[in-house]
Each structure stands twice: as structure tokens, then as C-alpha cells.
Amino acid sequence: MASTNDNATAQPAPLYESAKKIYPREIKGRYASLSKLATLVLLGLFYVVPWLQWDGRQAFLFDLPERKFYLLGLTLWPQDFPYLALLLIIAALSLFFFTALAGRLWCGFACPQTVWTEAFIWMEQWTEGTRSQRMKLDKAPWSWNKLRRKGSKQILWIGFSLWTGFTFVGFFTPIRELAPLLVSGTAGGWAYFWTFFYGFATYGNAGYMREQVCKYMCPYARFQSAMFDKDTLIIAYDEKRGEPRGGRKRSVDPKEAGLGDCIDCYLCVQVCPTGIDIRDGLQYECIACAACIDACDSVMDKMNYPRGLVRYTTHNAMHGDASRVLRPRVFVYAALLTILLGGLITSMVTRTPIILDVIRDRNALYREVPGFVENIYTIKLINQRNVEQVFQLSVDGIPGVSLDGVDELLPVEGGGVLTVPLRVRVPRENAYGIMDITFTASVVDNPEEMIEEGSRFVGLMP
């Protein structure tokens, strides 16, 4: 009877288990200092770069409405899309290269999620205290102290998030103009929307979701295993040396006590921002932040044991096999990266900063005027330099061909586009059939800087 009641009241196991809040413990050490430095440098770059000026304009600006990307002295136009595609390929290949070489180095030290989470944790520590103080505060009933600490954390988080959203928008809209507009309430609706949207995303991802973004949302965490092999640098616990684990006094000789070097203090687990135990082996949740190395090294120092129970190593090295970090796949990635980077730099340095587009008027095949046959074209001349240039336009390909209806010299302002309709005339005796012609635009001050564009001339049909 009792068992029937038990069955009737038993609750089904929940399909979803809510995430347990992680309270990462603060740690000092070599890698913590490196991580702090990386965070400060990367955050510094993000917040400072949009304020830099170059030639009287924003040095880095992705002007989407104007369809122009400004990168220092370089202006990229929609026609330069291949450069952008190449840049993305290089970025992806760099990720493969560094993963093959050093595992999840990107995740641990340079990923925006890691960097902003680190900054949010600093603010949490300043306002709510150490790990144990934070845990105590969360369990405590609401009081003036709790309200004050939680309130100041929220003020810092929200302020920092909004500044992040504003800075992000400042990469796409001139930031020096955006700032007063936002403050005076006269910026466009989209500027407010994106500022709040990115601010909210920063607040949610770095403030609350933290390790869950890495565990459940980041695709890189999922496919990294495909890029790992037994010679990839990983952070691992030396099981042979550490086991059997167990607590002991510092004066106890572990060998005599039949123990390994792990004193089972859980410090490596407490510092882990994703809440895992490195002693359970390589796990996809591990972002390779190396906090557990610092933690364990500090314990080893206190116990007078050699450092490195948790360390950077490779699967092969850990198992006593020969291991080499520089292996064929690293060289292949390095070679590909060098070729692509070389190609990108060469083509950017040698590119002609003029774009010439020729569109033939398709409404009329040709027009006869006394002694000549005419075709109509629209020429688009783009000056990719930041200063005005004067161009000379010419055409050839057919004996006697000439331009009509266009000035001899065409000034185009820096970063400007000139659209000119014009006629191409060919003496009647030479204007039979469909013929190739070539337009040339050359810079008057530097005739060697020129661009050619081919088109068709439709003449009389024989």
C-alpha cells in the first residue's frame, strides 16, 4: 500500500536542470597576471580605438550607410569585398593555427566572452567581496548591506554595459558626433536601439550567462575536438603523479602514506570559471584559462612539492610518449596563413586607388549622326584616395574613336564618386559590327596611376 502511495506522489525527473551559480575564487599567479594583462590591453583597444583620428576623420570606421570601411589611411569600398572575405578566411585559419599549436588559447585569454566576463567579475569582487563573502551575501536575507553591495554592482555593470554598447555603435557611426547626440536625445532611433541592444547583450552574457555561453552557445567549443590531436597543447592534471589523492599534513611523506601529490583541496575547482574539475580529464567546458594551474601551483608551493601537477602539456607527453608541438598540420596552417597574408598585403599595397565602371546604355543600339556612329555610356569614377584627384578619361580600340559630351579633366573629391553620361563616336567608315573598346582613366598629376575598363561598341550592321 505504502509503495502505491509512493508511486502516486513521485515526481518525474525534470528534463531541465537550472544552472548552478558559479562563484569563481580569485587567484594570483603567472597565468592570472597574463590574463589580467590581456584583458586590460584588449578592453583598452576596444574602448580607445574608435576615438582615434586619421587625416581629420575617424581612423577605424565601418560606415555601413555610405558603404565604406575606413582603416587608418585605407578606404575599402563594396568593390573591395574580396579583401574582407580574405580577411575572414585569414581569421578562421589563424584560429585553426593557434588551436593546433596551443589548444584553446583564444578561449582562455582573448575571446570577448572571457574578457568581458573577467571585467564583470572584477566589478563583482570590488562590490560583493571574495568568493566566500559573495556566497554568504547571496544566502543572507535582504538588508541595507546587501542592497548597497548588490546595487553598486548593478550600477557598475549597467554603466559599463551601456558604455560598451555605445562604443560598439561608435565603430559604425562617427563616435565623436554620436556621443553628444545620444546625450541630448537627438540621435536616431536605431542608434539608441543598437546601443541598448549591445549593452543588454553585454550585461546578460558577461553578467549572468558567463560560462553558459561557452558551454551551450559557442560553436567553437563544439568543433574544437576536431582540431585537437594528441600533440595539441592542453591543460591537464597529472593523474599518475596526483593519485591516490587525499588530505594530509605537510609533514607527512606522501609515499609513506601511500598517497599521490593531490591533497584534494578543491582549490582548482573553486577557481574554475566554468565550475569543472580538471582532475576528471579533458572536458569541452574547459576554456583553458589556466586558473587551475595557478591554484594548484600555489598549493604545491605550500606543500613543498614540485609545481606542475596541473600544467600545460600534451596528451602524448602526459602518457610518456614522444610529443612534438611543431608537427605537419602546424606547418601547413602556417604556410597557408603566410601565403594568404602575403597575398592580402601585396594586393592592398599595389591596388590602384581608382575604380572605373562603364555601363553601356542598352536602350539604343547605336545612333547615326553626320559622318559618325555614336553609342551612349555612363561612366562611374571612384576616387579611393582621401584627397581630391583630377582624372583624364580616354577611349581607344577603334581607329578614330573619340569621346563626346564629357569634360577633358574630371576632378573627383577624396572618397568621392563621379557619374558621367557620355557619347563615344566612331567615324562611319570604321563603325561596322560589334567591337571592343577600352576606357582609360588616369590621374593627371601621376599618369602612371591609371585604370582601364573594357566595353563594347555597337556599330552599323553590314
Q: Is 216 in the site for ligand SF4 (CB under 6 A)?
A: no
290 is an interface residue for ligand SF4 by CB under 6 A: yes
Kindly write down the DSSP assignment for every residue of 396-436, as one continuous string. ESSTT-EEESS-SEEEE-TT-EEEEEEEEEEEGGG-BSEEE
Q: Using CB under 6 A, pick the residue from 98, 166, 198, 237 that binds ligand SF4.
A: 237
111 touches ligand SF4 by CB under 6 A: no
Closest to ligand SF4 by CB, 80 vs 294, is 294
- Could you give phi then psi for residue 224, rounded to 5 degrees? -60, -35
Considering only 99, 232, 274, 375, the residue that binds ligand SF4 (CB under 6 A) is 274
Sole binder of ligand SF4 in the list 268, 317, 424, 441 (CB under 6 A) = 268
- Rg of the chain's alpha carbons, rounded to an integer? 33
One of 61, 101, 267, 318 touching ligand SF4 (CB under 6 A): 267
3-state secondary structure 291-317: HHHHHHHHHHHHHCCCCCCEEEECHHH
Q: Does 234 bind ligand SF4 (CB under 6 A)?
A: no
**Beta strands in 148-300, from DSSP E residues, in sequence order:** 234-237
State which residue, 287 or 382, has the beta carbon closest to ligand SF4.
Answer: 287
Q: Which stretch binds ligand SF4 (CB under 6 A): 222-230, 247-255, 267-275, 429-437?
A: 267-275
Residue with cell string 571574495: 130
38 binds ligand SF4 (CB under 6 A): no
Regarding 259 and contact with ligand SF4 (CB under 6 A), the answer is no
Number of residues that bind ligand SF4 (CB under 6 A): 29
Please say which residue, 79 or 132, places its beta carbon nearer to ligand SF4.
Answer: 132
Q: State how far the Cα of 172 lies from the Cα of 448, in Å rounded to an integer.
A: 35
Which member of 264, 374, 449, 453 binds ligand SF4 (CB under 6 A)? 264
227 binds ligand SF4, rule: CB under 6 A: no
Q: Which of 31, 27, 30 is nearest to 267 (CA)?
A: 27
- 230: Cβ–Cβ under 8 A, 6 or more apart, which residues? 314, 315, 316, 321, 323
Question: Quick check: 287 and 293 in contact, CB under 8 A?
Answer: no
- Site residues (CB under 6 A) for ligand SF4? 235, 237, 242, 262-268, 271-274, 276, 278-279, 286-292, 295-296, 299, 309-310
